[in-house]
Amino acid sequence: MNITLIFFLGLTIALIGVIPPGLLNMTAAKISLKEGYSRGIMFSIGVCLIVIAQTYIAVIFASYLSNHPDVIDILQRVALVIFILISIYYLLIAKKTTKPELVNNSKSKHSRLFFGMFLSCLNVFPIPYQAYMSITLASFGWLTFDITSISSYVAGAAMGTFVMLYMYIFFFDKIKNKSFTSQKNMNYIIGGITGIISIFTLINIIKEL
């Protein structure tokens, strides 16, 4: 598989995972608004440094699972149920929630770098998310677990995360009062994304029957 394509697969998957407003992207936007653009960027770089490690761990875990197809079959079915339930929750059940507030007031650029790394360490979602997506890509023959492909995918994931954080930093002040950023609409987006993943998972399970 072309490493450029693998890079963009990693970029796209990571970018999708960071679209919903959460602790990391909202904090990056608020730091930029309150303390300046450069500190928001430093925070985002700190986040991405940890994302590199998390994605690498996830892909290595996926590589191990790829040699145990019986475990993958079980995980795919469990994941299908989980993604369907998540889709139902966000599309039909989820209520408006309060957006996370920025509580750290440190002004140093270096502290923002480490603050980004710290918050990213607390956010363990990328590991199971990237592990599952890596297994799915491998099942379609789009990702192999050699060092070149893994490095390209990890680099793409880090870049995708940074791009989305940058978009929040750059556009947040302009779109923060728009309906696009309402919790209701974001719930629909999350539900739609997990619904699409559910469909792909179901197709993959049916193909293997």
Query: Residue 102: its pLDDT value, please?
Result: 43
d(CA 26, CA 21): 6
Instruction: Kindly report the backbone phi and psi dihedral angles of residue 60, in degrees, each rounded to the nearest multiple of 5, phi listed first.
Output: -65, -40
R_g (Cα) of the chain, nearest Å: 18
d(CA 54, CA 60): 10
Q: pLDDT per residue over 6-63, tens digit each?
A: 999 999 999 888 877 677 888 888 888 888 888 999 999 999 999 999 999 999 988 8
For the chain, the structural domain boundaries read 3-208
Q: pLDDT per residue over 149-205, tens digit each?
A: 999 999 999 999 999 999 888 877 665 555 444 556 656 666 676 677 778 777 777
- Which pLDDT band, with edges at 50, 70 and 90, does 103 fall under? very low
Residue type, 135: I
d(CA 9, CA 152): 9
Q: Determine the average pLDDT of the residues in 114-131.
A: 86
Is residue 24 within 8 Å of 119, Cβ to Cβ? yes
